[in-house]
Structure 1
Amino acid sequence: MTPMKTQTPVRISPAAELIAAFVSTGPAFGDRAGLARFLRAHRLATEGAIPITLADLDEAIALREGIRAVLENAPEPDPEVLARGQKVLDGLRVTVRLQPGREQLAPAVVDEVRRGLARIAGAWASVLSTGEWRHLRH
């Protein structure tokens, strides 16, 4: 009998954990209240009322679907889905921190929802730069 080979589990970073949670939200994120719950649960927004517009919700969904399209092992992701997600990223304002720390890309916006999306964008940039996105593939 040959011994069983065990794989060393891959420990993912907090940025990768955030991206994994974001892309796996599914219908729980189908309305503004669901988006607010997600943002609060992942400390991307403060407690209390978050004014979320339908446009904010649409942007969050477009970003989620764009990232999900990259993570799915499809040979060619839907270019429209990618374009919508990229448009959201292009519209987010982030700043690079000069000093090393936990969050190198930080939100440069005051709007609570856009700040949360900017943090997700920073996490996405991190998992892309480290190659961790390959471990998040569906």
Structure 2
Amino acid sequence: MTTPTRHSAAAELIADFVSTGGHLTDRADLARFLRRHHLATEGAIPITLADLDEAIALRDGIRAVLDRDSEPDTEAIARGQKVLDGLRVTVRLEPARDSGGQLAPAVVDEVRRGLARIAGAWAAVLATGEWRGLRV
């Protein structure tokens, strides 16, 4: 009998993000996801269609990396990478006391700050190798 392994908070965030599938189809879906994971405040979040497009591109790019059962979707990976390249994150000097990790958002816009936190979680999952245990 094997002992079940509990994923880190970063891996759980990534797993939930990539499993949104058809549940990330409009701006309200994105707002719900960000609030559920405490990546945005409970108040109104001004989400543009461009924000939604970026979130979907990031999700699809990560999914393409995690989907090892088929040929990598290089276009989805490139679109996701473009989103990551446009996010501003900073490294925390002191150890993080929360589950946010060492990378912190360096942006003011709430949606992009939420995406930057997802990017930080992805960086943590890559750094630990935990991404190999995630399934799409």
**TM-score, length-scaled by structure 1:** 0.93
- 1:92 matched to which residue of 2? 87
**Hey, what's the Cα distance between the residues in 1 that align with 2:7 and 2:38?**
18
Please state whether the residue corresponding to 2:107 is helix, strand or coil. coil
Alignment coverage as a number of residue pairs: 133
Please state whether the residue corresponding to 2:104 is helix, strand or coil. strand
Runs (4 or more) in structure 1 with deviation over 6 Å come to none
What does the per-residue CA deviation read over 1:59-79, in whole Å, with 9 as the maximum and x for residues that have no partner?
000000000011111453111
1:38 maps onto 2:6 in alignment: no
- 1:122 matched to which residue of 2? 120
Please state whether the residue corresponding to 1:99 is helix, strand or coil. coil
Which is higher, the Rg of structure 1 or of structure 2? 1
**Hey, what's the Cα distance between the residues in 1 that align with 2:22 and 2:70?**
25
1:83 maps onto 2:78 in alignment: yes
- 2:129 matched to which residue of 1? 131
- Which letter does structure 2 place at the counterpart of 1:133? W
1:7 maps onto 2:2 in alignment: yes
Please state whether the residue corresponding to 1:126 is helix, strand or coil. helix
- Which letter does structure 2 place at the counterpart of 1:59? E
- Which letter does structure 2 place at the counterpart of 1:90? D
Identity, % of aligned pairs?
Answer: 78
Q: RMSD of aligned C-alpha atoms?
A: 1.0
Q: Which runs of 5+ in 2 are unaligned?
A: none
- 2:68 matched to which residue of 1? 73
- 1:110 matched to which residue of 2? 108
- Which letter does structure 1 place at the counterpart of 2:132? R
Find 2:17's aligned residue among 22, 29, 53.
22
